[in-house]
Amino acid sequence: MLHNFTNQYLKNIALLGSTGSIGRQALEVVKANPQQFTVIALTAHNNAQKLIEQAIEFRPHAVVIGCRDSYNLVKSALQPFDISVYTGNDALNDIVELEQIDTVLLALVGFAGLKPAINAIKAGKDLALANKESLVVAGEIISKLSKEKGASLLPIDSEHSAIFQCLVGEQINSIEKIYLTASGGPFFGKSIEFLKNVTVSQALQHPRWKMGKKITIDSASLMNKGLEVIEASWLFDLEPHQIDVLIHPESVVHSMVQFVDGNIKAQFGPTDMRYPIHFALSYPNRISSPFPRLDFDKNSNLTFFKPDKKSFRNLDLAYHALLEGGNMPCILNAANEASVELFLNNKISFLQISDIIEQSIAKIDYIRQPGLEDLIHTDKLTRSFVNSIFMSNLNKTNTFKNNHLMIRKRKEPKTG
């Protein structure tokens, strides 16, 4: 059982995924505003050493290390500081329920963030969401639950934060459409022929943002923008035709809202995730930050382009999943996560990511009104299906190689 603690600070934060890119930047925001925020809990999956360093600096009341093998190491290191240490998925799901927590910042990657997100909302906590997959997979469940519990959903993705900021003081029914901007990633303007041979190293060279590997690959394939389209539909109660995507290589305009009277609001800012994190944690207030301001002298030329949906098919696949609804976004997300992992391990090509997602959407059983258990089952089933596709293709390749070798041997002339 987790202990409860007391604190006198303005806003108490639980940070799930503290050792990742978003987690580290969130702690920079906390450090810059020590009178506004304090950390109640930190969690990490397997980066035990970084978690120990963060816990010693920020002195949370509790930490969770997901990897059980690292539990004794973390517990021993933090024992002199009177920090409670827990491990395992149950602890991760339970930590968000601590009474003193005001806001849970969810920076876990992928489907793993779904259960903690739901638990946090059930406990009535405001949810600062950097885990878009939770809304992609279970948008209907999370949206309904947040309304029932009176828990705010505070977007941290720069694009959704931009939309959220543009809508402050506005009526939701006054929205005509929104524009989600995308940097275009490292392959903006590249042809399908070029994309056939890109390497993992090339795909990880994002021109604007410093992010984790998975989201960087998603950005390169435009799946990140596709997931954001689905997320935006739930966050802002929009139909698919009300959400458009524009490539904006400078990444200064983070997104825009077009209203029914034809006027457009845009949110500008540096390419720095600390800004949307800062806004989400301080909302509904705006508090001073020490971070650098946007220099318009260095950003005088702003350009916008339509995305190349033929070369980057993931965007249309995401729109298709949104239109279908049900468990289709869950299938899309699981297939993407599994295929991106295969790509990062050099087991499939960059373009095969889209091929595998498309096959998964076509083959996995569709459920129109899935419950949470249906989504968990769909996720597992899809990942298994992706693995079966890979193994089947691998066996075909090996068979071809073996047959080719046999043919060569038959043609070799006898000697002696």
pLDDT, tens only, 13-25: 999 999 999 999 9
b/e sequence 7-36, b meaning 16+ C-beta within 10 Å: eeeebbbbbbbbbbbbbbbbbbbbebbeeb
State which H helix or E strand residue 398 sits in: helix 372-411
Best CA proximity match to 157, nearest among 94, 89, 234? 234
pLDDT at 399 over 80: no
Rounded Cα–Cα distance for residues 231 and 329 (Å): 10
pLDDT at 351 over 60: yes
* pLDDT computed for residue 109 by the predictor: 84
φ, ψ (nearest 5 deg) of residue 98: -55, 135
* pLDDT computed for residue 394 by the predictor: 72
| 3 state DSSP class of 252 | coil
pLDDT tens readout for residues 283-309: 999 999 999 999 988 888 999 999 999
140 contact partners, CB below 8 Å, separation of at least 6: 234
383 within 8 A of 333, measured Cβ to Cβ:
no
* pLDDT computed for residue 392 by the predictor: 80
C-alpha 49: how far from chain center? 24
Place of tokens 């963060």: 54
Q: What rounded mean pLDDT belongs to the chain? A: 91
Mean pLDDT, range 305-321, rounded to an integer: 96
| 3 state DSSP class of 23 | helix
74 contact partners, CB below 8 Å, separation of at least 6: 48, 51, 52, 55, 63, 65, 85
Band (pLDDT 50/70/90 cuts) for residue 2 is: low
Helix/strand/coil (H, E, C) string of 318-372?
A: HHHHHHHCCCHHHHHHHHHHHHHHHHHCCCCCCCHHHHHHHHHHHHCCCCCCCCH
Place of tokens 């021109």: 207
Which burial class, exposed, middle or buried, applies to 242 when counting CB atoms under 10 A from its CB (0-12, 13-18, 19+)?
middle
Beta bridge partner(s), residue 256: 179, 266
pLDDT at 6 over 50: no
b/e sequence 109-123, b meaning 16+ C-beta within 10 Å: bbbbbbbbbbbbbeb
Best CA proximity match to 222, nearest among 187, 254, 255, 179? 187
Ranges 51-60, 196-205, 272-281, 391-400: which has the least confidence: 391-400
Here the tokens at position 403 are 């047959």
pLDDT tens readout for residues 256-280: 999 999 999 999 999 999 999 999 9
Ranges 317-326, 353-362, 388-397: which has the least confidence: 388-397
pLDDT tens readout for residues 135-168: 999 999 999 999 999 999 999 999 999 999 999 9
Best CA proximity match to 128, nearest among 29, 206, 57? 29
Band (pLDDT 50/70/90 cuts) for residue 398 is: low
pLDDT at 404 over 60: no
Mean pLDDT, range 56-76, rounded to an integer: 96
Give the ranges where 33-131 is alpha helix by DSSP (H): 48-58, 71-78, 89-95, 114-122
Share of the chain above pLDDT 70, in %: 93
* pTM (2 d.p.): 0.88
Rounded Cα–Cα distance for residues 123 and 5 (Å): 16
Half-sphere exposure of 365 (CA within 13 A, CB side): 9
pLDDT tens readout for residues 323-333: 999 999 999 99
* pLDDT computed for residue 397 by the predictor: 57
Rounded Cα–Cα distance for residues 288 and 415 (Å): 84
